[in-house]
Amino acid sequence: MSRICKFCRQGPGAYTCPRCHKDYCGLKCYQSGSHARCSEDFYKECVQAELVGDNLSEESKQRMQQILARMSKESESDQSDSEIDSDDDDNLDELAERLQGVDLDDANQVWLRLSKSERRQFTELLEKGDVNSLLPEFKPWWEQVVQEEPKIKELDAPNNTDFMKTCPAILEKIPDFGALFPRGDPSPLIKYGVMNVVYGYAYAVRLLHGDYENSCLEFVNTVELLVGADGSLGGKVFELADTAVETAASRVHNYPEISVSTDFSRRVKKDVYKIVKGPKDEYKSYYLLACLSDLHTQYLKATKQIKSKGSKKEEKSTAPKIAMFCEKQPDLNPKLLKVHTKKIEFYLSWAVKYHRTEFQLL
């Protein structure tokens, strides 16, 4: 018998609160009045995790102080119109005094230094899904500026390959597609399946803010929700590029725990084009091969982690998981992941041989 939401008593209990362990059907019920105390405490912890992680860079710490200073200034302005305005530097000095001697890597200490107004504003940002705006701007590896080769250069001059330094490593041993499938040319529809998978990969990278080295289960789970059983990894065939990408994008709405915004999904659609197009003419397939190789690596890591006995619980990532704060632990089937890993290998082999001809119009 399926579980029922404990709050509205109507919807399916698809999710479980990690605090009170009650089942609920969506974000609305999670934020309902009957669950307010539990959700507010969890919001506080999420804000702490987003702004104060175990490995904050100096840039992140400085940005956090600037945000707090701005909020402090706005709060003081609301309280009294007679207050003397001060610039951001003054606010930063005042905030520095408040945080003097505080370990910025300690979430609880920083939270205690915030005023009620600042805590409220952070909570409101979390509820609206705007906490991403508080973090340093994230640019995935495929958005790097690539130096184009000059039209006139020496014959023996090497090509500029600096862009490769920030890309995931491409697998060294990719099976030869011709040896695997010697019977004629493959279906022209394969490229659409590739685009479907690339959407799932790009979405997961952006959702986790590029920080998924220690979060392979969450990463793979996101990809599976978008392009797994109901996508090309699960054998679904697409006849158009738009359909392949839009199908993955539309599946986001089925999972509130990974849904961010319409603009976010649109940006990922553009990412698919950038990855498939490649960095430049001489290396058109490089981004796609890097993408599929990275995806292959994460699937292997996830499968290994699930199978490992007595493994410790994965540490929380400092990546922005705003919509995932009430998500259950990913329920991934290692046998299914193994099958999907083989499908990714198939796409890698195909891309090596057919990328240039199949995506020549890009």
Is residue 123 located within the same domain as residue 258?
A: no
Is residue 193 located within the same domain as residue 124?
A: no
**Residue 10 has what DSSP assignment?**
S
Give a yes or no: residue 277 inside a domain.
yes
Mean pLDDT computed over 169-198:
90
Is residue 99 located within the same domain as residue 168?
A: no
pTM: 0.64
Is residue 80 located within the same domain as residue 178?
A: no
Report the pLDDT value the prediction gives residue 17, as an integer from 0 to 100: 76
Is residue 319 located within the same domain as residue 256?
A: yes
Which residue type does 293 have?
Answer: S
Report the pLDDT value the prediction gives residue 121, as an integer from 0 to 100: 72
Range of 50-59, 117-126, 252-261 with top mean pLDDT: 252-261
Give a yes or no: residue 63 inside a domain.
yes
Using an 8 Å Cβ cutoff, are 111 and 48 in contact? yes
- Predicted confidence (pLDDT) per residue in 132-180, tens digit: 555 667 899 999 877 676 666 666 666 778 899 999 999 999 999 988 7
Is residue 249 located within the same domain as residue 109?
A: no
Q: Report the share of the chain in percent with pLDDT over 90.
A: 38
Boundaries of domain holding 55: 50-134
Is residue 228 located within the same domain as residue 309?
A: yes
- As a whole number of angstroms, the distance between CA 201 and CA 222 comes to 8
Question: In the listed set 134, 163, 190, which residue is the last one of a domain according to the structure?
Answer: 134
Backbone angles phi and psi of 220, in degrees to 5: -65, -40
Question: In the listed set 134, 163, 184, which residue is the last one of a domain according to the structure?
Answer: 134
Question: In the listed set 103, 134, 165, which residue is the last one of a domain according to the structure?
Answer: 134
- As a whole number of angstroms, the distance between CA 105 and CA 52 comes to 6
Backbone angles phi and psi of 315, in degrees to 5: -70, 150
Is residue 123 located within the same domain as residue 163?
A: no
Is residue 87 located within the same domain as residue 178?
A: no
Which residue type does 187 have?
Answer: S
Give a yes or no: residue 66 inside a domain.
yes
Instruction: Count up the domains in the chain and report the number.
Output: 2
